[in-house]
């Protein structure tokens, strides 16, 4: 991996820049970034990471073997059209644009391209993203490895079919918000039973970390682990009974299905706005 040119300089771009540099994947002199017009943002990234921010597209793309698209999805058409003459078929195009299909990217660029479309989540900012990646048939084995290494710098990376990305969005793309919602609810209940909010937060966060590690490292299913701590007539059983009475498990299932359906609708609407097909 020689050089990466990043188009769009938002929080996801910064998370990946940080991951790339912390893991020594690409030298900082070979990390280049641009955006639409926010010069202050480019200057801040240059100062923070020692990378290159530029509006000189010739310099940005010269020698780049990876081009990352990380602008806002609504700006995809204008952004891709502005760089199309600089993008070559030998480059790997890595897109983190939610709802913008690989066919749409090729249509906007007006040429056949090697494309990896990724769906990371906001936990990339702390190196704990769960990223799903789909690639088209033009991606080589070497480019496949490059993509895995790239997203491996910010967490777990796994490959899926592009048709599965809406489901991934509903599950892990939006997933951090579901966990934040759970923490928010547990904090409210803690205060309601007389615990100090700061201490309650520490207890809740450590409980979640511990439970996640148990699921990750144990050969037992989450259901088995739950049953093992749910003693008949005990406190856990009393709590679980209330969750079941309120249909919390079904609510989470419906939540993820709704987010998945919305992702699909948004993708279709975006493609219609961009005047390209799925």
pTM of the model as a whole? 0.88
Same domain, 39 and 155: yes
Same domain, 152 and 247: no
Decide if 21 contacts 41 (C-beta within 8 A).
no
CATH number of the domain enclosing 101: 3.40.50.720
Domain boundaries, position 77: 4-165
Same domain, 122 and 183: no
pLDDT digits (tens, 9 = 90+) for 237-274: 999 999 999 999 999 999 999 999 999 998 888 777 77
* Separation between Cα atoms, residue 53 and residue 141, nearest integer Å: 30
pLDDT (average), residues 18-46:
96
pLDDT of residue 267: 85
Same domain, 32 and 114: yes
Same domain, 160 and 206: no
Give which of 156, 152, 157 is closest to 19, Cα–Cα. Answer: 152
CATH number of the domain enclosing 244: 1.10.3730.10
Report the number of secondary-structure helices (H) and strands (E) in the chain.
12, 8
CB-based contacts of 259: which residues, under 8 Å, 6+ apart?
169, 170, 171, 173, 174
pLDDT of residue 1: 77
pLDDT digits (tens, 9 = 90+) for 165-194: 999 999 999 999 999 999 999 999 999 999
pLDDT digits (tens, 9 = 90+) for 86-122: 999 999 999 999 889 999 999 999 999 999 999 999 9
Inform me whether the pLDDT recorded for 11 exceeds 80.
yes
Same domain, 47 and 155: yes
Q: Could you tell me if residue 107 is inside a domain? A: yes
CA dihedral 138, 7, 171, 275 (to 10 degrees): -70
Same domain, 200 and 70: no
**Among all chains, which residue has been given the structure tokens 């990390």?**
31
CA dihedral 226, 231, 233, 237 (to 10 degrees): -10
pLDDT (average), residues 195-199:
94
Mean pLDDT of the chain: 94
Q: How many domains does the chain have?
A: 2
Q: Could you tell me if residue 269 is inside a domain? A: no
* Separation between Cα atoms, residue 273 and residue 278, nearest integer Å: 12
pLDDT digits (tens, 9 = 90+) for 43-73: 999 999 999 999 999 999 999 999 999 999 8
Same domain, 80 and 188: no
Give which of 174, 149, 191 is closest to 263, Cα–Cα. Answer: 174
Q: Could you tell me if residue 214 is inside a domain? A: yes
Same domain, 191 and 60: no
């Amino acid at each position: 991996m020689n050089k990466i040119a990043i188009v769009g300089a938002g929080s996801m771009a910064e998370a990946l820049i940080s991951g790339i540099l912390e893991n020594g994947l690409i030298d900082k002199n070979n990390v280049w970034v641009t955006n639409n017009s926010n010069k202050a943002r480019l200057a801040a990234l240059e100062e923070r990471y020692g990378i290159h921010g530029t509006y000189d597209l010739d310099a940005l793309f010269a020698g780049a073997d990876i081009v990352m698209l990380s602008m806002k999805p609504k700006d995809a058409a204008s952004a891709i059209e502005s760089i199309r003459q600089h993008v070559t078929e030998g480059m790997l195009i890595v897109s983190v644009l939610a709802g913008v299909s690989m066919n749409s990217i090729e249509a906007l660029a007006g040429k056949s391209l090697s494309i990896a479309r990724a769906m990371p989540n906001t936990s990339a900012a702390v190196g704990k993203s769960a990223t799903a990646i789909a690639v088209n048939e033009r991606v080589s084995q070497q480019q496949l490895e490059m993509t895995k290494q790239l997203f491996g710098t910010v967490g777990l990376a796994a490959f899926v079919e592009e048709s599965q990305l809406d489901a991934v969005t509903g599950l892990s793309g939006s997933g951090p918000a579901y966990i934040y919602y759970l923490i928010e609810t547990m904090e409210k209940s803690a205060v309601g039973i007389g615990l100090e909010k700061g201490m309650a937060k520490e207890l809740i966060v450590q409980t979640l970390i511990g439970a996640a590690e148990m699921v990750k490292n144990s050969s037992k299913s989450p259901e088995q682990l739950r049953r093992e701590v749910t003693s008949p007539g005990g406190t856990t059983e009393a709590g679980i009974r209330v969750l079941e009475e309120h249909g919390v498990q079904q609510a989470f299932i419906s939540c993820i299905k709704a987010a998945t359906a919305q992702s699909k609708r948004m993708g279709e609407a975006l493609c219609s706005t961009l005047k390209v097909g799925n």
